[in-house]
Amino acid sequence: MAQRGAQDPFAGPAQATQPNIDIQFGSRANSSALTDYSRSVISDVANQAGVSSMQISSTSRSPEDQARVMYENLMAGTAPVYKAPGQAVVTTFKNARDAGLSAEQTKALMASQIRDFIDQGIFVSNHLGDPNVRNVFDVAPSSVSNPATFEAAARANPSVTKFLSPTNNDPAFHFEIVQPFLNFLIK
């Protein structure tokens, strides 16, 4: 299921062998959250599979974005049951609200806790993370001309840290790409 990248952590951004892959972004995806390195990796995967275009349906969310989404759902009374880490953030929301803190202060506290969790290696959402450290995004399977070959190429690519697909019960082609150390420093 998960693949561990054998990449050189000090390597610079990889260069796409053919830069002519047409990458579109869906309404929930933020094009700036796809790093140059990930763009080159996904282009390599597409080239290997003979795929010329794809749509990225979702990109990674910052702790602030995650806090905002959770805050809005909690205020609307429509927050679902989370696992323990998510429930801890919900408790922070309740404590902050009971203490009379403003919306901005509450969201800042929630984001701070989400960030603390990430620092420990715990993720409240699997779309959470700093794209310059671990770039997470989904590719819509319907946007890829040859899904089976694309999946095989993604699984075989050592720069893809984690890959999930409909065969893993994930509705999308889910990519997680740990960014090269040097790339992180340049940013």
| By CB under 8 A, residue 84 contacts another protein | yes
Residue with tokens 């819509």: 140
| By CB under 8 A, residue 116 contacts another protein | yes
| By CB under 8 A, residue 168 contacts another protein | yes
Bridge partners, 138 (sequence order): 58, 174
Decide if 36 contacts 9 (C-beta within 8 A).
no
How many Å apart are CA 172 and CA 166, to the nearest integer?
A: 6
Out of 19, 50, 158, 171, the residue judged to bind another protein by CB under 8 A: 171
Q: How far is CA 178 from the centre of its chain?
A: 10
Q: Which stretch binds another protein (CB under 8 A): 15-23, 34-42, 111-119, 146-154?
A: 111-119
Query: How many residues does this entry show for the chain?
Result: 187
| By CB under 8 A, residue 4 contacts another protein | yes
Decide if 131 contacts 59 (C-beta within 8 A).
yes
| By CB under 8 A, residue 38 contacts another protein | no
| By CB under 8 A, residue 69 contacts another protein | yes
Q: Which CB sits closer to another protein, 39 or 174? A: 174
Residue 108, classed as helix, strand or coil, is helix
| By CB under 8 A, residue 6 contacts another protein | no
Which residues are within 8 A (CB) of 137 and not within 5 positions of it... i.e. 6 or more apart? Answer: 29, 33, 34, 38, 56, 58, 59, 60, 175
| By CB under 8 A, residue 95 contacts another protein | yes
| By CB under 8 A, residue 142 contacts another protein | no
Out of 16, 64, 85, 140, the residue judged to bind another protein by CB under 8 A: 85
Residue 164, classed as helix, strand or coil, is strand
Residue 52, classed as helix, strand or coil, is coil
| By CB under 8 A, residue 162 contacts another protein | yes
| By CB under 8 A, residue 117 contacts another protein | yes
Instruction: Please give the residue ranges that form the binding site for another protein (CB under 8 A).
Output: 1-2, 4, 27-28, 69-70, 73, 78-86, 88, 91-92, 95-96, 99-102, 105, 108-109, 112-113, 116-117, 119-122, 125-126, 162, 164, 168-172, 174, 178
